[in-house]
A and B are shown apart, each in its own frame.
Chain A
Amino acid sequence: ETGVTQTPRHLVMGMTNKKSLKCEQHLGHNAMYWYKQSAKKPLELMFVYNFKEQTENNSVPSRFSPECPNSSHLFLHLHTLQPEDSALYLCASSPAGGPSGDGELFFGEGSRLTVL
């Protein structure tokens, strides 16, 4: 139990589908993140939310659309994805929410996405 819960754990979708990944943190943290983990590549930061406000979009294609309705929940909406988008998508949270740095990241178990 990490305090950060991601659903679904596995998702297979076609290129024309629309799906969403969900993340919920029970740690009272102020910041939430989406990371993409592909084989043999460093963790890629996608989006950062501090106090529900998006503070970073790391040049992510518009087919990925984040949503943060409150400090505990984060969504990643997916549409018209490509096979190269297949990866492990990791949600994380951290206590920090200000300019003093991210602090320690608490990761969820990830959502393994396969795009056919």
Chain B
Amino acid sequence: GQQVMQIPQYQHVQEGEDFTTYCNSSTTLSNIQWYKQRPGGHPVFLIQLVKSGEVKKQKRLTFQFGEAKKNSSLHITATQTTDVGTYFCAGERSNDYKLSFGAGTTVTVRA
């Protein structure tokens, strides 16, 4: 079945630095969603990308969908302590629209 792989599993970032988390699917996706889960919280929807090569920005967060619609990335600039949490990607399979979550990238920030 479809697998969605996320790397890295853990990201330790100095406050103010940038980082990127990557999401790769074994099959073509109709869309990809990103969620953030704060420690002790629940996943919260951030964004959905649908078009090949699409790039969307939310303040310091930049989301990208690959040209082949098999991979995606989330880039955060000038990391802040409020960015702490686990970021999940979720890919929707293009043949049956089933959603598959990656294992997440857990981000910690050094002040």
Contacts and interface: CB of A to CB of B under 8 A. Distances in A.
Given A101-B31, A101-B92, A106 B101 contact: no
B8 to A, nearest CB: 13
A107 B102 contact: no
A101 B88 contact: no
Contacts of A110: 42
Interface stretch (A13-21, A40-48, A68-76, A77-85): A40-48
Contacts of B48: 104
Interface string B40-58: 0111110010000000000
B79 interface: no
B6 to A, nearest CB: 8
B42 A90 contact: yes
B42 A101 contact: no
Interface string A31-75: 000000000111101000000000000000000000000000000
A104 B43 contact: no
Nearest to A110: B42
A105 B92 CA distance: 12
The B contact surface, by secondary structure, is strand
Contacts of A43: 43, 88, 90, 101
A106 B46 CA distance: 11
B13 interface: no
Contacts of B90: 43, 105
15 contacts: A2-B42, A42-B100, A42-B101, A43-B88, A45-B99, A99-B97, A101-B30, A101-B92, A104-B33, A105-B33, A105-B45, A106-B45, A107-B44, A109-B41, A110-B42
Interface of A: 2, 40-43, 45, 90, 99-102, 104-110
Given A2-B42, A100-B97, A105-B33, 19 more contacts: A2-B44, A40-B103, A41-B103, A42-B4, A42-B88, A42-B101, A42-B103, A43-B43, A43-B90, A99-B97, A101-B99, A102-B97, A102-B98, A104-B48, A107-B43, A107-B44, A108-B42, A109-B41, A110-B42
